[in-house]
């Protein structure tokens, strides 16, 4: 058995694996950004913003796109446009980034946490249904990491109970399900373009919808009450509905240009990542004790933000945990192998919400995965060549051989 690098052996990667910085940059985008700068037309529905909204929505088979400041404001506006407020409950996954659960709180509504599935980690339809009460007004399934929530079942349950569906697609740009884009299966889709995301302009977000009334309301919520497409000073379309509390959640032409150019690469890159994910899945699952996050059951195109795998704690020698596996694989020079957010949503280290403001319906499955099993690989791995992937598999194989009973 080879000595692990963490114990002084020769690392699998020598030198350590390095990656091009994320996101990729395109020289032609730099030229276009300069043009926008020189035009002095930087916000308020410039031509690039409108173009990006239309093309991004069309790619995801939705009628309308509303470009915004980030992927938290999108969730908040989606809920607000659906009329959700104090006294209402919104079901969210027990495992997501906390923004999914903060959005209902901003509106005075109550997030209710429901468990995830053990293979996809996404919201479990049965746990969702069990968490419904007469106060439930919406559900926010999240397409987490490298999987898709079971939208077929979730939408059917929601329809049966008269509950609105907002798809949190912050990890899923480019994903398709039976020909429909993510973000087009519920009433509203929400995307984030934050620095680490599949498509990014540093910050940014976008709502997709095919409902003209929701489009109108979300547009007004984003742009301090103006009707869709109306610039500063143009009041055509009249004021917003009485009592609709509108914001400045606008984004800029610069961001729209960066994203418009990235959209050109989305399909090819999504396919490339999915093929690499399939390759890694097959190789990693040959290692006893390793299982990979299952892609969405009906995903015709699974989009990957990060690649999730699990280590069975039962196969590890006494005293060893998945944290030791992560440390040892990184010591082999792998890099970008990490443990995830480390906690269920309402126990993440920035969560400071008092317990009477939310309710935990169920969380046991994902809590156990987070504590004992999950390992994530950064998106750069899925953009790597097969030589790098083979070495990564070699590093996991080496570590698991030494660390297994």
Least spacing, CB of residue 373 vs ligand PLP, in Å? 20
Binders of ligand PLP among residues 170 to 199 (CB under 6 A) are 170-171, 192, 194
Which residue, chain included where needed, has tokens 């143009």? 234
Binders of ligand PLP among residues 286 to 325 (CB under 6 A) are none
d(CA 346, CA 367): 11
Backbone angles phi, psi at 151, to 5 degrees: -65, -30
CB-nearer residue toward ligand PLP: 194 or 397: 194
Of all residues in the shown chain, the one whose CB is closest to ligand PLP is 71
Q: Does 120 bind ligand PLP (CB under 6 A)?
A: no
d(CA 150, CA 75): 19
Find the part of the chain contacting ligand PLP (CB under 6 A) among 29-37, 97-105, 280-288, 363-371. 97-105
Binders of ligand PLP among residues 136 to 155 (CB under 6 A) are 142
Least spacing, CB of residue 46 vs ligand PLP, in Å? 21
Least spacing, CB of residue 56 vs ligand PLP, in Å? 15
Find the part of the chain contacting ligand PLP (CB under 6 A) among 21-29, 166-174, 294-302, 355-363. 166-174
CB-nearer residue toward ligand PLP: 10 or 196: 196
Bridge partner list, 206: 67, 191
Least spacing, CB of residue 200 vs ligand PLP, in Å? 9
Residue 303 CB neighbours (<10 A): 27
Out of 71, 125, 228, 378, the residue judged to bind ligand PLP by CB under 6 A: 71
Q: Does 168 bind ligand PLP (CB under 6 A)?
A: yes
The dihedral built from the CA positions of residue 174, 303, 27 and 21, taken in this order, carries a sign that is positive
Q: Does 100 bind ligand PLP (CB under 6 A)?
A: yes
Q: Does 129 bind ligand PLP (CB under 6 A)?
A: no
Least spacing, CB of residue 78 vs ligand PLP, in Å? 11
Least spacing, CB of residue 212 vs ligand PLP, in Å? 25
Least spacing, CB of residue 172 vs ligand PLP, in Å? 9
CB-nearer residue toward ligand PLP: 72 or 330: 72
Least spacing, CB of residue 71 vs ligand PLP, in Å? 3
Q: Does 348 bind ligand PLP (CB under 6 A)?
A: no
Least spacing, CB of residue 287 vs ligand PLP, in Å? 28
CB-nearer residue toward ligand PLP: 92 or 395: 92
Residues in contact with ligand PLP, counted by CB under 6 A, come to a total of 14
Find the part of the chain contacting ligand PLP (CB under 6 A) among 30-38, 47-55, 93-101, 220-228. 93-101
What string marks each residue from 41 to 70 as x (binds ligand PLP by CB under 6 A) or -? Answer: -----------------------------x
Out of 4, 78, 82, 99, the residue judged to bind ligand PLP by CB under 6 A: 99
SS (H, E, C) the chain: CCCCHHHCCCCCCCCCCCCCCCCCCCHHHHHHHHHHHHHCCCCCCCHHHHHHHHHHHHHCCCCEEEEECCCCHHHHHHHHHCCCCCCCEEEEECCCCCHHHHHHHHCCCEEEEECECCCCCCECHHHHHHCCCCCEEEECCECCCCCCCCHHHHHHHHHHHCCEEEEECCCCCCCEECCEECCCCCCEEEEECCCCCCCCCCCCEEEEECCHHHHHHHHHHHECCCCCCCCCCCCCCCCCCCCCCCCECCCCHHHHHHHHHHHHHHHHHHHHHHHHHHHHHHHHCCCCCEEECCCCCCEEECCCCCEEEEECHHHECCCCCHHHHHHHHHHCCCCCEECCCCCCHHHCCCCCCCHHHCEECCCHHHHHHHHHCEEEECHHHHCCCHHHHHHHHHHHHHHHHHHEC
Bridge partner list, 338: 376
Least spacing, CB of residue 60 vs ligand PLP, in Å? 16
Out of 11, 111, 205, 295, the residue judged to bind ligand PLP by CB under 6 A: 205
Least spacing, CB of residue 376 vs ligand PLP, in Å? 12
The dihedral built from the CA positions of residue 58, 183, 258 and 26, taken in this order, carries a sign that is negative
- Binding residues vs ligand PLP (CB under 6 A): 70-72, 96-97, 99-100, 142, 168, 170-171, 192, 194, 205
């Amino acid at each position: 058995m080879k000595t692990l690098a963490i114990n002084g052996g020769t690392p699998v990667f020598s030198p350590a694996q390095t990656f091009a910085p994320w996101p990729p940059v395109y020289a032609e985008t730099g030229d276009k950004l300069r043009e926008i700068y020189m035009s002095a037309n930087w916000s308020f529905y410039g031509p690039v913003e409108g173009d990006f909204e239309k093309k991004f929505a069309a790619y995801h088979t939705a009628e309308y796109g509303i470009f915004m400041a980030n992927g938290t404001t999108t969730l908040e506006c989606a809920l607000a446009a659906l009329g959700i407020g104090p006294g209402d409950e919104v079901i969210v996954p027990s495992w997501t980034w906390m923004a999914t659960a903060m959005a209902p709180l901003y509106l005075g509504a109550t997030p209710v946490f429901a468990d995830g599935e053990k293979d996809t980690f996404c919201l479990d339809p049965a746990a969702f249904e069990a968490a419904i009460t007469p106060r439930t007004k919406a559900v926010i399934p999240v397409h987490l990491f490298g999987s898709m929530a079971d939208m077929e079942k979730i939408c059917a349950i929601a329809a049966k109970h008269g509950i609105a569906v907002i798809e949190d697609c912050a990890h899923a740009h480019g994903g398709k399900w039976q020909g429909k884009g993510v973000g087009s299966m519920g009433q509203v889709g929400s995307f984030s373009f934050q620095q680490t995301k599949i498509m990014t302009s540093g910050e940014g977000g976008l709502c997709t919808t095919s409902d003209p009334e929701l489009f109108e309301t979300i547009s007004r919520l984003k742009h301090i009450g103006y009707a869709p497409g109306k610039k500063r000073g143009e009041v055509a379309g009249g004021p917003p509905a009485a009592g609709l509390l509108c914001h400045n959640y606008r984004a800029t032409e610069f961001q729209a240009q960066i994203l418009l150019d990235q959209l050109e690469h989305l399909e090819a890159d999504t396919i490339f990542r999915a093929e690499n994910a399939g390759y890694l899945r097959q190789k990693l699952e040959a290692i006893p004790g390793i299982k990979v996050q299952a892609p969405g059951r009906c995903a015709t195109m699974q989009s990957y933000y990060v690649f999730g795998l699990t280590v069975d704690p039962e196969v590890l020698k006494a005293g060893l945990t998945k944290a030791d596996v992560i440390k040892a694989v990184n010591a082999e020079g792998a890099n970008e192998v990490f443990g995830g957010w480390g906690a269920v949503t309402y126990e993440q280290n920035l969560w400071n919400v008092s317990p009477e403001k939310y309710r935990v319906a169920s969380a046991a499955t994902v809590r156990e995965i987070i504590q004992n099993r999950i390992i994530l690989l950064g998106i750069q791995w899925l953009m790597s060549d097969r030589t790098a992937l083979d070495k990564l598999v070699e590093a996991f194989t080496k570590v698991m051989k030494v660390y297994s009973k």
